[in-house]
Structure 1
Amino acid sequence: MTPDEIERLFSSTPPSPTNPSRGDAGEEEDVVLSEGEKLRRTENLSQVLATVRQLWDAGSTDLDAVAENIGNAARDGSWRIPLGESQLLGFFIGIVGTEGLRRPLTVQALRGVHGAESAADQNRQRVIAADCLPKMVKLLRDDSLLPLVIPVLFNICVDYEPAHVAAYKAGLNPELVNLTLGSRLAKVEGLLSIICKLLGLVANQEPESDLAHLDTPFILLSLAARQESPLDLDDFLGQSTVALAYLAHSQFQDSFLKMPDAVPLFLRVLERASREFDDAASTDEELGAQLARARSVFVQVLADLSAHPAFAATCGNSLDGLEVQTLRGWLASPNAQLRSAACLALGNVARSDAVCVSLLAGTGDQGVQGPLVGILSDPASAADAQLLHAALGFLKNLAIPARNKEVLGDARLLDAPELLPRIWGLTAQPQVQFAAISLARLLLVNCPANVRRMIRARPRASPVADAGDRQSQTPLQALLSESATTDQEPTKTEAARAALTVCRVVHTHTASVFQAPDEAEESNSSPGSDSRLAEFYDNHAGQLEGALVFLGSQKKFPLLRSELWFVLALMARSTAARAAVVAGLLRNREVLEALTEAVTGRKDVLEGQEGQDSTASQPASDGGTSGGSGVSELGLEPQQVDPKQAASVAKVDRENGLVLIGELVEKAPDQPGSIPLDTLRRILKEGGTLVLANRDEA
């Protein structure tokens, strides 16, 4: 078949009607040919292939014109499958990138490949199987071929996962990135959109040596940052979202954070994404959705970067630096996206006591507590779970150092109705509710001033109440009321831990909790403290008992039960606590079983004991505190469990349990049916014997 006959072959075949193309403009999508027509075309193309091979072997320039005709035909979707099945496409795939190939033939070969593989996965697979991609990628080094090579590579890769892997292994990433550097950038300005899409298609491959330019995200963000306002949203998203995809890999994060000014660059682009484009997004629904996704990913990537040791070290060592000052400025921004980003990033920076204390230094707007209080108190934040959760997470880190607890308490986090007490009631946002209760617990640990705030009455949300009903409630009552209505076990656990923390501080720092700041110092045993302790239990007994029963009956966290036995041992020494809470706790079967096992090491002690216990206080029998096994003879005191010394936990639990039981047996409330005294005496005797035996062995 002569070149003229080949030209007539393609020109005499009318194009087939097709659907809109997914390839370049002017190309038609693949069509379904009848088997007869497909066979006819394939046979004709087989004859064309014979001519093409002859021209190739002869080195004839006529091959250029034939290749051009084939390239034109490949734009017609009805020819694509026959081109592949006739092996004519395979011939041109094979010569692409051949050393010394004439430029016109290179161009026409690329056109043929470009057209034939559009929307035809069979032909794309032929390109991959022929190992043609490495040669095509090398053609990116020829600036004159870029307008053709880049679209060809895109058509091979788009919507075809096997091509993503092959292109990545062919070294596509570093070749494309090199196009954006130095003087070459000016030559691909009009192709940057396709370049970014191609980089995005290979972004999910695991980075390997020599196959990925580790500065890819930095370079792409630099391109996004260089745009002048008004920004082109499509270009901006193309560059920034691909950069974010690469920053999902730890190798790229490591490299990125080593670059000078990398963090300020990231923050600058994030701020542009958050502040600009709203008008453009409102007029294009698809672009608006892409922008929303990009903003969300920006915040998540910042959270990942700020958790990196290099980020925390840089920012944590220089709180006056540009990065931290930018983030602190965002805390007070009206833009919720920027506030969330700042909370997440600064929360990760706040990894040491020194940094946390410094961030709260000063008062009002001088410390970060001012803007954070503003976030929590903003009614609009109730609808923004991401922002609330980020702010609470930041505050939880800040609340860890002992010096910061009272500072945050002074900001009224615990007792202002519009702050934590409001968020405790957000049952529709369980993660936010949990974080708010967890923050409250942290603020209470070893902080008498905050415990005082937590148990001090404040006005109820509604002033309407029945006659005789108190018109006030404490924050602790509010917290326990809200947590009691949730079915989220972690939230219930955290609320119970907060209640236990209050009880512990109340009994270890009684005077500091109950005296007003302007009152004289008084001892823990003063009459004033005793009366206020009794009032505290009068107001909270029912809710405290329910919360502590939950801790005592759960089996998931043994150390929490250990903490419970310690605090109950402290409480049992107080008449008010013993009568109001402790005795009631031991009426609960599960709690009593857990305590029995802690003291005796056995689970069967209570079997068959129902209905056999005394119902009132009475002198100890032979099985009571006599015989050398009473607490007074043992000289036991409540002691804190050290979770780092697992071997001693059981010993400390037993001794705390004995202190608790000994107090109840010796000073049982004079209430019929209050506690199972006979059972407690048996437990006391058996546990005391074990303590003495252990001492003898030691």
Structure 2
Amino acid sequence: MSAQAISTSHGAAQSGKSNWELPSIRKILEDLPSTVSSLEARTETIDSSKQQEMFRDLKTIIEQAQADEEEKVFDLKELHSSLEEAEASSKRGRRDAQTLQSVCDILHKLWSCDSQYLTQATEIIANGSRDPSWRVPFGQSGVLKFFLDVISSKEKVDPSLLLHSLRVIGNSCADTNENREIVVEGNHTLAIIRYFLDPDLVFVAIPVIYNICMDYEPAHAQIAANRTAYILLKLIQDGAIEDNEALLNFAYDLIELASEQAGGIENSPDGTILLLMQLAIVENLEFSHFSSLANSLAAYLEKERFQNVCVSNMMVEGVLDVLRRSFSVEVDQSSAEDVKAIAQLRLKTNQALAEVSASPLFAQNYPLDSPLSHTLKSWVASSEDQLQICACVMLGNLARSDEVCRVMVRELKIHEELISVLKGEARGAVLHSSLGFLKNLAIAGDNRAALGEAGIIPAVSRLWAYESVPQVQFSAASIARQVIISSVDNISYLLAPLSQDPDSPAHQRTYLSLLLSLFEKTDSTPIKTEIGRTVASICRTLSPIARGGDEKALDLLDRLFTLHDGVAMPIGAMITQTQWPVVRSEGWFALALMATDPKGCAAVVECLHKTEVTELLKTALGSEASDQVQAEEKEEKQEIDKSQETKDRENAFVLVQGLLKNESGALPEGYRDLLEDLAKPHASFLKASAEA
């Protein structure tokens, strides 16, 4: 954006009406501090002829400076042939602070006697100020400060004098930071903003603020603190500038600029976000204007205060309307910049809605039977990615209690729509948000059966090969673990054959086989760990039931160990990882459970052969030297407390006992002796621990 020359032409503006109960601009301005003018009272008496003489002197100085500048133009050949002459010629101009000091003195004298010539003099200066070479001298000579004092004066000032004063200020500040600093130092932006209320001056006051602000951060912060965003939004809402396209462009740019200032946002009235929402969904709104409003709204909703305002005042539907409107606003698809901008805008709006729905107030104000919830439910199956993501995230944030999750599954059947999304051609971001929502639903134990019956295991199994988005792989693996917790039926789905045709090779492979394939391929420790925890969960659920003679559990355990080579390897990865001590303990327990089954014991032996688990087993049940290593590790890793270490040692001992009982010759020569040596001292140790 470039600075604008301030002219005197403007279009007519019509006032609109609104039924919104929002503070008026006048009320907003009354609450802000007054700006100070250093001009003396206009009490001096100067003869009219003397005033006329001063005016002529001022005019002569300005005109002579302009004439001198014109004389500096010379032929391009002369520039190349005589650099010395060019340097001499450049010094003939008179646009310097010293020359303009006399102009500043005349202006003060004309002001002091309330001269009729002051307005004429100001117009001459304003016309000249469109030339960039005047800018710095105006600031250095005090001319700029004089006109800032004029517009800040509490005395009655002729409207034409104000108009031309604003022109001088705006043109002097265009691309000139040292002059902008003078304006900001005295908070004179507020004085200019007050003229937004004057229908005869608003057309020049807004461009003046624009020129002051462009690429000058201190001015950005000041206009934001002076509530410029709200004031401009209210002007637009009231129709005060609707017929002037240039003013609208300036206004929307300034609204977005002010929204980038955290301090200004905090100083804005609550109703600012309502104005942003309402204006953003106006029909036939230009994309650039829509973008300014939507980006500003997202910035406001980053703040907890406005999140609470939004939810408490039932404005969330308005934010949804803005997101929906982003799909109908006209965007130039041939412009890569515009296409990128609308995509970023949708992401920002979605993030804002995610933050809003994460508020504890959200569930209180928007229960499951609210119209907003019904809208979100309809968006789950939308053809627009960002609407689907929005629905999953916001409804997922509602799914924070078991009762709400049960209702979503039992009554709304929303899990069926989510599973359909997983089966379709949705992009990675949609899949990720859908999986996150399903994981929330699966936390309620009663829902796991319904999710299994709806086919969640086959649906997520195809995503275990979704290599382009690792987050999707992880979430898909994680939800498999989530739904099988304490659920024999869902474990049976996981261990079901990939094909019902007995003659097909896929009949001997299960969905768990696909998960184990992912374990072999991935380098991701979190994914490996989730797969290990899934296998551990299967053992934890089935082993106790199988010991009681349950036929289904026995059959499933048999399938687990006979159809899956390397099934214990993921559990070994749980033990060898070092990030989560609790997961390591879980792994020891699961491996011990496996060892109590003769077929499972063979899988454990394979794990001991191929991993570092044997060395860790020695550490857990080892000699005094190993105890010393343990002590050093404890010193380095304080998170491993004594009770957890004892539990790990107990499970390691059970593991060794199971191996010694069920290995049936699978152990290598000498390995059984090693295990027996490890087990002997710890039998008495664990007995003593139990008695203690």
Q: TM-score, normalised by structure 1?
A: 0.80
Distance 1:529 1:174, change over 3 A: closer
**Cα distance per residue 1:383-419 (max 9 Å; x no partner):** x22111111111111111111112111121212xxx2
Q: Which amino acid aligns with 1:69?
A: I
**Deviation readout 1:167-205 (Å, 9 max, x if unpaired):** 233443454455456xx4445664444333222212233
Structure 1 residue 675: deviation in Å?
Answer: 7.6
Give the SS at the match of 2:270. Answer: coil
Q: Distance in 2 between matches of 1:251 and 1:312?
A: 17
Q: 666, 682, 686: which is aligned to 2:681?
A: 686
Which residue is equivalent to 2:35?
none
Secondary structure at the aligned position of 2:587 is classed as helix
Match in the other structure for 1:81? 136
Kept after mapping to 2: 8 A contact 1:599/1:653: no
Q: How many residues align?
A: 611
Mark the CA change 1:40 to 1:142 in structure 2 (over 3 Å): closer, same or farther: closer
Inter-CA distance 541–289: structure 2 relative to 1 (3 Å threshold): closer
Structure possessing the higher relative contact order (Cα contacts under 8 Å, 6 or more residues apart): 2
Contact 1:136 1:149 in 2 (8 A): yes
User: What does residue range 441-480 of structure 1 map to in structure 2 within 5 Å?
Assistant: 441-459=481-499, 472-480=508-516
1:309 aligns with 2:331: no
| Structure 1 residue 597: Cα displacement | 3.6
- C-alpha separation in 2, matches of 1:468 and 1:391: 32
User: What is residue 392 of structure 1 aligned with on the other side?
Assistant: 435
Partner residue in 1 for 2:595:
572
Structure 2: distance between partners of 1:532 and 1:283? 58
Change (3 A) 1:47 1:423: same
**Offset, 1:508:** 3.4
Structure 1: how far apart are the matches of 2:535 and 2:230? 58
CA drift at 1:112: 0.2
Is 1:292 equivalent to 2:343 in the alignment?
Answer: yes
Distance 1:298 1:540, change over 3 A: same
Q: Secondary structure of 2:668's match?
A: coil
Match of 1:270 among 298, 323, 338: 323
| Cα 1:282–1:303 shift into 2, 3 Å | same
Written as runs of structure 1 = structure 2, the 5 A alignment for 1:320-359 is 320-359=369-408
Whether the 8 Å CA contact 1:553–1:590 is kept in 2: the answer is yes
CA distance in 2, matches of 1:89, 1:361: 71
Q: Is the 8 A contact 2:234 2:275 kept in 1?
A: no
* Paired residues for 1:95-494 under 5 Å: 95-100=150-155, 101-179=157-235, 184-186=238-240, 190=244, 191-207=247-263, 211-225=267-281, 227-228=282-283, 230-259=284-313, 261-274=314-327, 276-277=328-329, 280-315=331-366, 318-362=367-411, 366-379=412-425, 381=426, 384-415=427-458, 419-459=459-499, 472-494=508-530
Measured at CA, do residues 160 and 240 of structure 1 come closer, stay the same or move farther in structure 2, by a change above 3 Å?
A: same
Query: Partner of 1:60: helix, strand, or coil?
Result: coil
List per-residue Cα deviations over 1:503-558 (Å, max 9, x = no partner): 32232344xxxxxxxxxxxx84267754653343121132x122122111112111
Shift of 1:231: 4.1
Q: Deviations over 1:5-59 (max 9, x none)?
A: 1453366454999xxxxxxxxxxxxxx9996256654443233223222222232
| Residues 589 and 322 (structure 1), Cα distance of their counterparts in 2 relative to 1, 3 Å cut | closer
Match of residue 668 from structure 1: 663
In 1, the alpha carbon distance for the partners of 2:466 and 2:88 equals 62
CA distance in 1, matches of 2:354, 2:135: 48
For 1:282, what is the secondary structure of its paired residue? Answer: coil
Question: How much has 1:327 moved relative to structure 2?
Answer: 0.2
Partner of 1:635: none
Deviates more, 1:490-499 or 1:684-693: 684-693
Which amino acid in 2 is paired with 1:541? D
Deviation at 1:296, TM superposition (A): 1.8
Structure 1 residue 606: Cα displacement: 12
Structure 2: distance between partners of 1:596 and 1:558: 17
SS at match of 2:152: coil
Distance in 2 between the 1:555 and 1:291 partners? Answer: 43
Question: Contact between 1:270 and 1:295, CA under 8 Å: does it hold in 2?
Answer: yes
AA partner of residue 371 (structure 1): E
Equivalent pair of 1:414/1:440 in contact (CA under 8 Å): yes
* Contact 2:497–2:508 (CA under 8 A) maintained in structure 1: yes
Maintained 8 Å contact 1:562/1:653: yes
Cα distance in structure 1, aligned partners of 2:90 and 2:262: 43
Structure 1 counterpart SS, 2:578: coil
CA drift of 1:449 comes to 1.0
Q: Is the partner of 2:678 in helix, strand or coil?
A: helix
- Between 165-174 and 655-664, report the one with greater CA deviation: 165-174
TM-score normalised by structure 2 residue count:
0.81
Give the AA of the match of 1:306: S
Check 1:62–1:333 CA distance in 2 against 1; reply closer, same or farther (3 A cut). Answer: same
How high is the sequence identity, in percent, across the aligned residues?
A: 29
1:21 maps to which residue?
none
Alignment deviations for residues 117-162 of structure 1 (CA, whole Å, 9 cap, x no partner): 1122222122122432232233334444322222211211122112
CA-CA distance at 1:282 after TM superposition: 1.9
Q: What residue in structure 1 maps to residue 52 of structure 2?
A: none
- Counterpart in the other structure of 2:24: none
Do the aligned partners of 2:312 and 2:365 also contact (CA within 8 Å) in 1? no
Tell me the residue number matched to 2:22.
none
